[in-house]
Amino acid sequence: MSENPSRQDKEEIRELLRQYQNLKTGRSHSFLDEESFEKIIDYYDEAEDMALALEAVELATGQYPYSSALLLKKADLLIATRRYADALEILEKAAVLDSSDINLYILKTDAYLALDQPEKAVVILENALHYFEGEERIDLLFELADVYDDYEEFDKIFDCLKLILEQEPVNEEALYKICFWTDFTGRNEESIRLHKQIIEEYPYSELAWFNLAAAYQGIKLYEKAIDAYKYALVIDEKFDYAYRNMGDAYIRLRKYKEAIEVLEKVLELSRPEEVIYEAIGYCYDRIKNYAQARFYYRKATHLNQENSKLFYKIARTYINEQQWAQAVKQLELAMQIHRNYPDYNLAMGECKMNLGDIKEAILCFSLVVRARPKNVAGWEALICCLFIGEFYEEASEQVQAALKHTDNKPLFLYYYSAVCLAWGKTKEGLLQLERALHKAPKLVKKFVELNPSILQNQQVVDLLAKFRRNKKN
């Protein structure tokens, strides 16, 4: 029975180190060849003792000055100790002895990148591609892709990965990376053509099917994306990212029940995630199953108590059911995290108004218009609330402010008319109503919604009838 290989290796390096120490101290020693020196240098390098590793490589290159392998070791150590110019000098010597070692080009690239000279690194790698084939060429292309990443030449990263896949169509690393860079560069049509070619040759590559689907999704061809994801899942039924992306595609198509089904599959196959629970909650929200929507939003909050939007979304489900008090509790939780977020104040104002707390509602809506002065929704809510509370003078002032900040939106002419009429300023109210009708006749329904009893005012009814007659003529 043979000895443990690991034990043999330890004994071998121990013996080599003993011989090396004898050589350093001038005592009698066995002959150390190039390979033995390489093992000694690697030992010190792996032990992260750079001083001893450099000492060993100096001695080794002194004994074997024409060994390109030892010169490359020396350059590698010099780069590790940030002596980049010295490393490049050594690499030039190594290139004279042997220019066919791929590590020569990779080390030169590392040195130039460390010196913040990516353009020189690019030239070296681009030239080296002409001299290598097979796996070595693929290694260089990956290296070049990394350099382009540092250089922020993102389209060229895609080009490198494409070249790799043309040479080795099912290279996993390239397939994983090109999916990201397709999305980042927007080169979806190219990716579709590339992956269709790969699938013709390798129809059982689930990554190629996944990338094809993702590219279709990138140009909003969601039905085609779903079909491609299904093929990926036939090959690998536990491919959770395919289910995840398919769920997004179904949501885009507003097929919420199908989205729920595939997103539930993600939960079966991987650890619970806030984003998946939230997405399922959103789907139930859209099909108006508010209880189930809350159930999943709450599951999401258990994973992230700091996401205020989740509490806001729970509140919206209560608002949709007109459960105002319950909505307030959730909005209070959201506002403990983000106090002055306009959407939260808008929703809180709506709840307070429906609970009859008009002054609190006005305060909330005032915060909204202060934060978003050009936003119509905030002004609309504030003015309606002031109108309902019969604060006509304040409502009149806020209408003027709304017109100023929203570039004279006709909606606020209608609201100004309603305020004037309710305040007893009939002449001004009718004048503003007429102006509003000429500018945006379809918005008259908002005028009536604000105060349905206005249709009992004969002067208003006559003006509306006159306007309709004139429009027909």
Model pTM above 0.85 = no
Residue 465 domain boundaries? 408-473
Distance from C-alpha of 122 to C-alpha of 383, rounded to nearest angstrom: 62
Residues 286-306 pLDDT 10s: 999 999 999 999 999 999 999
Per-residue confidence band for 27, with pLDDT thresholds at 50, 70 and 90: low
Two tokens, residue 281: 């909650």
What CA–CA distance (Å, rounded) separates 7 from 144? 39
Tokens of 157: 């990263």
Which residue bears the tokens 């150590």? 77
Start-to-end Cα distance in the chain: 109
Q: How many helices (H) and strands (E) does the chain have?
A: 27, 0
Q: Does residue 469 lie in a domain region? A: yes
Phi, psi of 89 (to 5 degrees): -65, -45
Looking up tokens 């590698």, which residue turns up? 76
Whether 418 is covered by a domain: the verdict is yes
**Does the pLDDT of residue 2 top 50, yes or no?**
no
* CA–CA dist 85, 296 (Å, integer): 58
What is the token pair recorded at 354? Answer: 């429906």
Closest CA to 366 of 333, 332, 316, 401: 401
Asked whether residue 417 is assigned to any structural domain, the reply reads yes
Q: How confident is the model at residue 353 (pLDDT cuts 50, 70, 90)?
A: very high
Number of structural domains (the chain) is: 1
| C-alpha separations of 94 from 81, 107, 114, 122 in Å | 19, 11, 20, 20
* Residue 432 domain flag: yes
Is position 6 within any domain? no
Q: What is the pLDDT of residues 193-248, one digit of tens each?
A: 999 999 999 999 999 999 999 999 999 999 999 999 999 999 999 999 999 999 99
Residues listed for the chain:
473
Specify if 46 maps to a domain. no
| 394 lies in some domain | no
Look at residue 457 and tell me if it is in a domain: yes
